[in-house]
């Protein structure tokens, strides 16, 4: 079922979460072990991230270094299909522009349709670690809006080879939104304009980047509505978990910790201290969002479900 249909039918705020495929060589059991504790909260859909290639250097016998492209976390589509089978839950694979030609995207969408997957979250993807800026595939898409246009075309029965009588796909398309602005955007206004373009191209709902100050989400929703973006905007939450997160999350995701949270985090001496603060903050954020009747709260688990379980227990 489509994410938008779940939202339409819901009587209260929904619960959903996002997982990462395991590192290459790990079994799918690690995914089930992470998901099992969260199933009691009846998620309506589970997102599975997509990770493109990275470059690593391997030493050859002659002592020279060889640059090798490798995907450390493959398996997005397989995991989505396995979760549908095992839990009868809807899944949302993330689809990115980076590393894909348009034809590879078309073929991936055909696979997804054959597997009974009704939703995709369409993203540009980040630059690969060794590149300073995002470089699209030479036959691929530069921005998420272009990818959304391709999915919309297929939903209209338009494939790349202009053949007639092709079966339309029926994907519900989600897009990413940034309450604190995407880090490359010149300003909030241009970022909002490009977000509106994604909705006009066919995105039916938005999932936000993580934020720790609900006011930023409420302001973002207000700006979106003023800009004519009228699709559901699902807030994304990530509980802080480790001492390392205190610098990593703001740096990597380009988000700020509010003053009150940073004060609490600065008192923490151990990962356990941070974990407790993260849960308490997540509970407070979730309570306020639920009271504001947001359509769904989407939790980034980053392969760790214990904190999300502690929060969900208090909310759902």
Where do contacts with ligand FAD occur on this chain (CB under 6 A)?
49-50, 52, 94, 96, 123-126, 143-145, 176, 182, 184-185, 190-191, 194, 198, 207, 209, 236
When the beta carbons of 46 and 176 are compared against ligand FAD, the nearer one is: 176
Instruction: Please give the DSSP secondary-structure letter assigned to residue 92.
Output: E
| Nearest distance from C-beta of residue 60 to ligand FAD, angstroms | 30
| Nearest distance from C-beta of residue 210 to ligand FAD, angstroms | 8
When the beta carbons of 106 and 191 are compared against ligand FAD, the nearer one is: 191
| Strand pairing report for 205-210 and 172-177 | parallel
When the beta carbons of 3 and 144 are compared against ligand FAD, the nearer one is: 144
When the beta carbons of 52 and 102 are compared against ligand FAD, the nearer one is: 52
Q: Are 90 and 42 in contact (CB under 8 A)?
A: no
Residue with tokens 């029926």: 170
| Nearest distance from C-beta of residue 166 to ligand FAD, angstroms | 27
Distant-in-sequence, close-in-space partners of 20: CB < 8 Å, separation ≥ 6: 48, 49, 51, 73, 301, 302, 303
| Nearest distance from C-beta of residue 190 to ligand FAD, angstroms | 6
When the beta carbons of 119 and 209 are compared against ligand FAD, the nearer one is: 209
CA 272 to mean position of chain CA atoms:
26
Q: 96: closest CA among 105, 88, 87? A: 105
| Nearest distance from C-beta of residue 153 to ligand FAD, angstroms | 17
Distant-in-sequence, close-in-space partners of 46: CB < 8 Å, separation ≥ 6: 16, 17, 18, 19, 35, 83, 87, 89, 90, 91, 92
């Amino acid at each position: 079922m489509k994410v938008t249909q779940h939202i339409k039918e819901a009587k209260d705020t929904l619960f959903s979460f996002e997982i990462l495929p395991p590192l290459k060589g790990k079994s799918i059991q690690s995914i089930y072990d992470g998901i099992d504790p969260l199933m009691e909260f009846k998620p309506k859909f589970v997102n599975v991230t997509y990770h493109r290639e990275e470059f690593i250097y391997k030493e050859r016998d002659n002592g020279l270094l060889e640059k090798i492209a490798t995907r450390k976390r493959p398996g997005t589509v397989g995991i989505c299909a396995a979760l549908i089978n095992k839990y009868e839950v809807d899944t949302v694979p993330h689809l990115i522009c980076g590393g894909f030609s348009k034809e590879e995207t078309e073929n991936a969408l055909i696979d997804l349709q054959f597997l009974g997957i009704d939703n995709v979250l369409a993203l540009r993807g980040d630059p690969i670690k060794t590149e300073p800026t995002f470089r699209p595939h030479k036959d691929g898409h530069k921005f998420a809006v272009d990818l959304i246009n391709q999915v919309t075309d297929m939903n209209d029965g338009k494939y790349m080879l202009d053949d007639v009588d092709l079966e339309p796909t029926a994907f519900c398309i989600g897009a990413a939104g940034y309450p604190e602005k995407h880090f490359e955007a010149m300003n909030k206004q241009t970022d909002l304009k490009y977000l509106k373009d994604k909705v006009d191209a066919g995105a039916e709902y938005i999932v936000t980047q993580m934020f720790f100050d609900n006011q930023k989400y409420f302001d973002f929703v207000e700006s979106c509505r003023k800009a004519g973006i009228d699709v559901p905007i699902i807030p994304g939450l990530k509980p802080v978990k480790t001492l390392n997160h205190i610098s990593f999350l703001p740096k990597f995701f380009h988000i700020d910790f509010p003053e009150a949270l940073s004060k609490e985090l600065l008192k923490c001496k151990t990962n356990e201290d941070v974990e407790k603060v993260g849960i308490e903050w997540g509970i407070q954020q979730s309570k306020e969002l639920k009271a504001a009747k947001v359509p769904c709260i989407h939790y980034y688990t980053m392969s760790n479900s214990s904190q999300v379980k502690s929060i969900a227990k208090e909310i759902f």
